[in-house]
Amino acid sequence: MAHGGHCVARHEGRVVFVRHALPGERVLARPEPGGEGDRFWRADAVEVLEPSPDRVTPPCPLAGPGRCGGCDWQHASLPAQRANKAGIVLEQLQRLGGVDPATVPGLADLRTEPLAVPGRGDDDGLGWRTRMRYAVDAAGRPGLRGHRSHELVEVPACPIAHAEVEAVGAGTRRWSRTEAIEIVAAGVGPDGERAPAGERAPDGGSAPAQRLVVVEPSPGERASVPPLAAEASVALRAPDGLRRLRGRTWVEEHVELAGVRRSFRVTGAGFWQVHPAAPRTLADAVLAAADPRPGERAVDLYCGVGLFTAALALRVGEAGAVLGIESDARAAADARRNLHDLPQVTLEAGRVERVLPGLQRPAGPGGPAGWARADVVVLDPPRAGAGRAVLDVVLGMRPRVVVYVACDPASLARDVATAATRGYRLAGLRALDLFPMTQHVECVAALVPSGPHEIS
């Protein structure tokens, strides 16, 4: 298996990346359009001649060549999926990161850890996705795109969608003059509290705050919202932000951090982990890797609505300090609301590579105390990774530990290689199966100073 959800095969000396196949199989593959001079080809396994013992019947009839591109590995058993993900993480760290697994405790025996879906368990890898975005065609039919395609596949029901998302019935409705719709189900995690059905909305209507439909109109059109199968708040995405049609434009998530149950407002379809068990699992993993101590200074970069910022603040206490930086203005505003009761927290809105260097000036009458040094840094960058510019600033702060939360093992591996040139080494890593049936895997890595610069 290779990073990206496909197998590496060879045909007459040419590398072919084949989707819907498994290691060891012999398949009949249909290539995508390409040229004889291409370095490699892409293809779909349209017939399996010699199947792997790990092959299973996909639970979704829309999974397979030429169909929905939302899932990559429904044809593989869950143990095989998780073994392949661990193998890919190791391969990327070795090839792109220059990491010798034998030098990192537990890395050579890396396992991808499953997460249980509250109320469902982890027996089938389904029913976990609490946020779904559907594109809508000219006829108002919602669906998902094919792999590497603009072609829309109608999806009346999605097996990996959470039951609260499916309850809305969005896939079976017609959404005229609509470009896309997003369905959010909140408060369904292990620390969640279901909102009472029939909660009174500000406009006098009746809509639970924990289901939200965000409608994106077609350009220049006024979208029409069909009757839904379950009560939900509805918001319209406008050029200047979200406009409430009924109920609220935000949802509330609940997570237990350091024994304290905290609430987090997330506006619209803003970023929040899509697996209901992920926020608490990731927060616990970050705290375990960082071990923040009372009175320490911690930095949370790409902090979103403040999940890790809150976890760090509760550990360092009011004698410590936590800096959170987030570029998305809507998420930054939510973070200010979510963390207003924690005086040790400072929040800054803007791009990390621009904001953080400006905060590293010494303390003085013209501004707040500088952040030239920090004990702990948490990085949760977008898929492309943190990059050299951000890492140069972060590692220049000489933290005793950097905890890197990564949704892309290739980006993580490249940043680990960059960190090694700045005197930091990979000291530990966990792989979490936050996205069953897909090729995605979440990693939590710890980087510590190496060599003579190591800090106790």
Catalytic residue, candidates 7, 68, 303, 407: 407
**Owning domain of residue 14:** 1-55
To the query of whether residue 443 is one of the catalytic residues in this protein, the response is no
Instruction: Tell me what pLDDT residue 192 has.
Output: 77
CB of 299 closer than 8 Å to CB of 212: no
Among 108-112, 150-154, 289-293, 339-343, the minimum mean pLDDT is found in: 150-154
- 28 in any annotated domain: yes
Mean pLDDT, the chain, rounded, equals: 92
Residues 49-53, mean pLDDT to the nearest whole number: 98
Closest to 164 in 3D by CA, of 255, 251, 224, 236: 251
- Are 151 and 247 in a shared domain? yes
pLDDT band at 367 (very low <50, low <70, confident <90, very high): very low
End-to-end CA distance of the chain: 39
Structure tokens at 325: 């930086």
Beta bridge partners of 253: 264
R_g (Cα) of the chain, nearest Å: 23
The phi and psi torsions of 453 (rounded to 5 degrees) equal -90, 5
Spatial neighbors of 35 by CB under 8 A, at least 6 apart, are none
Spatial neighbors of 97 by CB under 8 A, at least 6 apart, are 412, 413, 414, 416, 417, 420, 426
Structure tokens at 161: 């969608």
- 240 in any annotated domain: yes
Instruction: Tell me what pLDDT residue 239 has.
Output: 86
- 235 in any annotated domain: yes
CB of 92 closer than 8 Å to CB of 45: no
CA–chain centroid gap for 424, Å, is: 25
Indicate the residue among 251, 271, 295 that finishes a domain: 251
Assess whether pLDDT exceeds 50 at residue 176.
yes
- Are 137 and 48 in a shared domain? no
- 196 in any annotated domain: yes
Report which of residues 451 and 239 the model is more confident about: 239
Residues 26-33, mean pLDDT to the nearest whole number: 93
Residue 124's Cβ-count burial label (10 Å; 0-12, 13-18, 19+) is middle
List, as one string, the DSSP characters of 3-43: TTTBEEEEETTEEEEEET--TT-EEEEEEPS--TT-SEEEE
- 243 in any annotated domain: yes
Helix (H, G, I), strand (E, B) or coil at 434: coil
Spatial neighbors of 183 by CB under 8 A, at least 6 apart, are 131, 132, 133, 134, 161, 165, 168, 170, 211, 212, 213, 232
Structure tokens at 96: 């792109």
Residues 175-191, mean pLDDT to the nearest whole number: 94
- 347 in any annotated domain: no
- Are 45 and 147 in a shared domain? no
Instruction: Tell me what pLDDT residue 448 has.
Output: 98
Output the furthest CA–CA distance in the chain (Å, rounded).
74
- 44 in any annotated domain: yes
Residues 200-227, mean pLDDT to the nearest whole number: 76
Q: State if pTM tops 0.85.
A: yes
- Are 151 and 245 in a shared domain? yes
Spatial neighbors of 99 by CB under 8 A, at least 6 apart, are 93, 107, 413, 416, 426
Helices (H) and strands (E) in the chain, counts: 8, 21
Tally of domains within the chain: 2
Indicate the residue among 228, 251, 274 that finishes a domain: 251
Rounded CA-CA distance 206/189 in Å is 23
CATH number at residue 41: 2.40.50.140
CB of 94 closer than 8 Å to CB of 436: no
Helix (H, G, I), strand (E, B) or coil at 79: helix
Alpha-carbon distances, residue 335 vs 37, 300, 339, 401 (angstroms) = 51, 12, 6, 24
CB of 290 closer than 8 Å to CB of 313: no
Ramachandran quadrant class, 289 (left: phi over 0; alpha: psi -120 to 50; beta: rest): alpha
Residues 225-244, mean pLDDT to the nearest whole number: 93
CB atoms within 10 A of CB 73: 28
Assess whether pLDDT exceeds 90 at residue 174.
yes
- 322 in any annotated domain: no
Spatial neighbors of 388 by CB under 8 A, at least 6 apart, are 418
State which H helix or E strand residue 419 sits in. Answer: helix 409-421
Indicate the residue among 199, 233, 251 that finishes a domain: 251
- Are 140 and 242 in a shared domain? yes
